[in-house]
Amino acid sequence: MYAYLYDAFLRQPKFGARLARIEGRLHDLGIHGKIEKLTLLKSFKELAEAAIKRGAETIVAVGDDQTVSKIIGVIAEHNVTLGIIPFGKSTRVAEFLGIPEGVAACDVLSARIVEQVDLGRANDTYFLSFLQLAPAHELILECDGGKFHIEPVRGQHSVIVYNFGPAGRDPRDGVLETVISREPAEPGGLKLFRGRPSGRQSVVPIKHMRIKSFKGSLPAYADGQTVVKTPLTVSVAPRKLKVIVGKNRKFV
Amino acid sequence: MAKSSEHSETVIGSSIKVEGNFVGHGNIIVEGRVTGSMKTDQDLRIVPGAVVEADVEARNVFIAGDVRGNVKAHDRLELTESAKVSGDVQAKVVSIGAGASLNGKCTMLGAEAAVEEPGGDPIRERAKSRGSRPVEVA
């Protein structure tokens, strides 16, 4: 049974015609289901939990990367599958998973190729793509249970922990890539992985890491939106999320 | 598309330092500073300017920087002209460029020890009893 969760921005009239075509295609394919729309009164977490209680086995996020990010925490804790119908400007997650925009996304849902991918976890918050720390001078990263630690030297550094990489790093490999850059770096910037990083950048794969700041508490952004603060325990949750993917996904 | 069996590569850039026991499963490139120990089942490359105060072990080891510790390469060890190694090294194949500095014992791994006639070269005899071959310098 499918449940469709629409993000709030889809109420804009410009999305009306596209949504109607998509809903028609879902009916034709026999995978239509209850549609719930995000409102001020109900969060995505509440909508998803209610759908799961009603027996939904697949929760489809209709929206952009932020829409997906809002739902994964609930989906990860229940034995359900995530589907995506991408809308909006920021749909890198869908692109990485091989899910096209428009009506073609319905065909991907119908084909139902399911992969179990890793999630990252920062304290109690799950993230799908990346976790970015605010730039800082003094940080210490204790890795893999304290076996080794990393300290930036000289100047301000940014730290981004990737689960999905822009270069198509396998999201099932059971590790997170920590990129430490001397100057602040754009998340998802393709230059980070094209060719070898310069001496200003370091890439360290980890499974578990504790991030501490020497001066107060630093904010960090999970998938560009949810704020968590140091000290942080960052770890990989291997194969935690079941997600429907397309044939053109960026990993085999 | 990325291969699911590809191991992640580690790059320790010049702007960080790593302390402790680092164990990796992919290639490692050191451009910065490492203290402790470092091990991988793939290749290790220490570039010019890198400082490694650690015992290191990898499949192939390429050194162009400064290493203060023991080095074990299961296949090949290469020292370039800018390499400075203070410690014992072990490898199946060793290549040392003109100008490299190596202060320590060098032991060749694998292959049977040379079979010698009784009363032969005493150095070879001692190496044979230890199960290793001495380095031969042309």
pLDDT above 70 for B120: no
CA nearest neighbour of A206 among A233, A225, A186:
A233
* pLDDT of res. B24: 86
Which DSSP state fits B9?
P
* pLDDT of res. A41: 78
* pLDDT of res. B1: 37
Complex confidence, ipTM:
0.81
pLDDT above 80 for B119: no
Residue of B nearest to A141 (CA): B18
Question: In the 3-class helix/strand/coil scheme, how is A208-247 assigned residue by residue?
Answer: EEEEEECCCCCEEEECCCEEEECCEEEEEEEEEEEEEECC
* pLDDT of res. A89: 86
Mean residue pLDDT of chain B comes to 83
| A199 to B13: CB separation less than 8 angstroms, yes or no | yes
- Which parts of chain A have pLDDT scores under 50? 167-168, 189-196
pLDDT band for position B25 (cuts 50, 70, 90): confident
Listed in sequence order, the residues at least 6 apart from A54 whose beta carbon sits closer than 8 Å to its beta carbon are: A1, A3, A34
Amino acid at the residue A139? L
Task: Tell me what the mean pLDDT of segment B85-95 comes to.
Answer: 97
The pLDDT tens digits of the residues spanning A192-244 come to 444 445 557 899 999 999 999 888 888 899 988 878 888 999 999 999 999 99
* pLDDT of res. B135: 52
| B15 to A203: CB separation less than 8 angstroms, yes or no | no
A173 touches chain B (CB under 8 A): yes
* pLDDT of res. A190: 36
* pLDDT of res. B8: 79
Which DSSP state fits B41?
S
B23 touches chain A (CB under 8 A): yes
* pLDDT of res. B82: 97
Greater model confidence, A224 or B63: B63
A180 touches chain B (CB under 8 A): yes
- pTM equals 0.83
* pLDDT of res. A218: 87
Q: Which of A95, A148, A193 to mutate to test binding with chain B, by most B CBs within 10 Å of its CB? A: A148
Greater model confidence, B50 or A252: B50
* B chain contacts of residue A250, beta-carbon cutoff 8 Å: 1-2
B51 touches chain A (CB under 8 A): no
* pLDDT of res. B6: 53
* pLDDT of res. A55: 92
